[in-house]
Structure 1
Amino acid sequence: MKITIVDVAKACNVSVATVSRVINGNYPVKKETKEKVLKIIEELQYKPNTQARDLIKKQSSTIGVVVPSISNMFFTNVINGIENYFEDSQYSIFLCTTEHDKDKEISRINELICRNVAGIIVVDPGRDNVKSKYFEKIAESVPMVFVNRHSESSYISSVFNDQENGARIAINYLLSKNHKNIAFIRGDNSYSYDIKEKVYKEMMNDINNFKEEFIVNMGHGNSIQTVNKSMEEGIKLLSSNKNITGIFACNDLMAIGIMNACKKLNIKIPTDLSIVGYDNIELSEMVEPKLTTIDQNMFSLGENAAVLLNEKIENNNEYSKSIVLSNRLIKRET
């Protein structure tokens, strides 16, 4: 069986990034660690691939971009912003998708490290891998930027919208329309969903009307099945809770699924039920009725992420900073 860089890392009890640094010689490694890795490489007779050997003495011109999915237009718009910034530069983009799976996320980033990328942009990083400090360990040696999540690490730059304020804008809008029984639709494993749920609970408790059964977690919130899955969950929710008059969905795909559920149940929008989505993807203007939503500057998120990563690369990964973008309510017909 062919020995891989992962096998070497396990045998040395170090990260894949550390093995890659020893092979490529592009970042400092402790002397004893380097000697240990080189010894294991010799013992296992590991042979780095041609690409890795070719890059030992030169910086890669590839930027790794890791996203949960390209099914949700939120992520494609962020990618467009990244590509727009790097279009006339020396850098090319290598895109990876994770399906919000924490193991796939680690695997994809390890692949990028093996490709000796100049830096990595992680869009909507997984909650579990953030908590385990996986990203922080990688970012010590590979320039890294988070999109759609604040980073407390001194090694990771970040650009994100004020998710808390965006959720408040959405819920306040529903409250201003005299809705009190407001349901909340979210997905799994996302910092942005967690922030929105926290705000939702606080605001519903403020009016003494928080009900746990009004929170629906429909699993993967950014897959190709999101609309159908949220429609199914919406039918269950609205059939068993006929007093619900407002819904705040964590993204537009979920909101559109709820709209489809209303059509199945003959619920009129916005006469019987008001819906506010989040993201302002292009599809939100194409559905009937047009979706009221929160715009969070997706293209600008991507461009700013690219700016931050380029700064880290040019400054030898020596400092990090965060950029917070504002949100705005897009009033339409729901």
Structure 2
Amino acid sequence: MKKATIQDVAKRSGVSITTVSRVINKNYPVKESTRIKVEKAIEYLNFKPNLLAKGLIQNYTKTIGILTPSIENLFFSEVIKGIDSVIRPLGYTTFLCHTEGCDKSEIEMLNSLIDRQVDGIIMIDPRKENILSGKLEKISSTTPLVLINGYSDGIKCNYVINDAVSGVNEALNYLFNNNCRDIALLRGGKSYSYDIKEVVYNNFISDKNLNKRVLKIDDGNDLNAVNSSKQLVLEALKSNNKPRAILCCNDWMAIGALNAAKDAGVPVPDKLRIIGFDNTIISQISSPALSTVDQQMTKLGQLAAQRIYRIMSNEDNENQKIYLETKLVLRES
């Protein structure tokens, strides 16, 4: 079926294309009787204005691009939910791009969003390589850009950042103060968020003169992370040097560790304490319920959305780093 055009509306209502445009955009006065005729023609023809063309004329498209390395890890979906809760009521539509944590895909999707003339872009956990290359700084000089987490030292971009350092320290101190000395860190592969957690862990272990033990799976952001974590933790629990506690870099990995403990017959938390990171819904419905570090994911997304809107509105163009506190949530593990 052929889509109705503005020419069709003009013909049916017996007015010029310019008059139809004025009725649609409400930018010039039009006689009431003429406006009613045009609106009836629009309704009859089910005419939908070309919002992109309209936006290009007015120098905006009312669209926001969001780049995420994962759609399976509930951390990212909660952040996106927070972004949408702010952006949608303001009349914006979002384009969601899934990069799968690939630096090349990230740049390709960034360029595609820019070609589509989005009004702004929010990147969640951007690749460190693209940050250090200067590519994101260059983009931010011409396109409103907000980064959620990621490497930020000396980088001239707008950031909203979880205070992961204090979150890791709080979790480790809790374990240490509860007589845990053999503490392992369970992390995923290539990700700055995992890197920074390991740096904090290494510093803590060194300060307390404890033995370091880092367990590493390939990818911590997909569903395979649960099984990969389970297998790795099972091996550790069957060894002669069993950990007394495991700090996991996200809740998916922590669920895998819980499953491993069940299979190995190791009671949690009596013989093994497990702490996750994120406070996603799975931490509340697992058995036992998972202790975890709350990263306030929805609020993280909301702060990023509020920041990008201020930049797009030219209310505040200075680069800022906004930090969001984390909090250890103690449950049953």
TM-score normalised by the chain length of structure 1: 0.80
CA contact (8 A) 2:128 2:151 kept: no
1:147 equivalent in structure 2: 148
Counterpart secondary structure, 1:87:
helix
Unaligned runs of 5+ in 1: 1-49
* SS at structure 2 position matched to 1:240: coil
Counterpart of 1:272?
A: 271
Describe the SS at the equivalent of 2:142: coil
Aligned-pair distance for 1:153? Answer: 6.0
**Corresponding residue SS for 2:283:** helix
Give the AA of the match of 1:71: E
1:182–1:245: 8 Å Cα contact kept in structure 2?
Answer: yes
Corresponding residue for residue 246 of structure 2: 247
Match of 1:91 in 2: 92
- Sequence identity (%): 38
Contact 1:100 1:220 in 2 (8 A): no
Q: Is the 8 A contact 1:294 1:330 kept in 2?
A: yes
Distance in structure 2 (CA, Å) of the matches to 1:132 and 1:227: 33
CA contact (8 A) 1:150 1:322 kept: no
CA contact (8 A) 1:71 1:224 kept: yes
Q: Secondary structure at the match of 1:185?
A: strand
Q: Matched residues in 2 for 1:127 and 1:322: separation?
A: 17
Match of 2:116 in 1: 115
Name the SS for the 1:159 alignment partner.
Answer: strand
How many aligned positions are there? 283
Match of 1:132 in 2: 133
Mark the structure with the bigger radius of gyration: 2
- Counterpart CA distance in 2 for 1:148 and 1:249 is 18
Displacement of 1:219 after TM fit? Answer: 1.6
TM-score, normalised to structure 2's length? 0.80
**Does the aligned pair in 1 maintain the 2:51–2:61 contact within 8 Å?**
no
Q: Which amino acid aligns with 1:131?
A: L
Residue equivalent to 1:38: none
Contact 1:187 1:221 in 2 (8 A): yes
Q: Which residue of 1 aligns with 2:61?
A: 60
1:267 alignment partner, SS class: coil
Residues in 2 aligned to 1:206 and 1:215: alpha-carbon distance in whole angstroms? 16
Work out whether residues 155 and 319 of structure 1, in 8 Å CA contact, stay in contact via their aligned partners in 2. Answer: no
AA partner of residue 237 (structure 2): L
Instruction: Give the drift of 1:316.
Output: 7.8
1:223 corresponds to: 222
How far apart are 1:275 and its partner, in Å? 0.5
Contact preservation (8 Å) 2:60, 2:119: yes
Q: Give the aligned partner of residue 283 of structure 2.
A: 284
| 1:190 paired residue number | 191
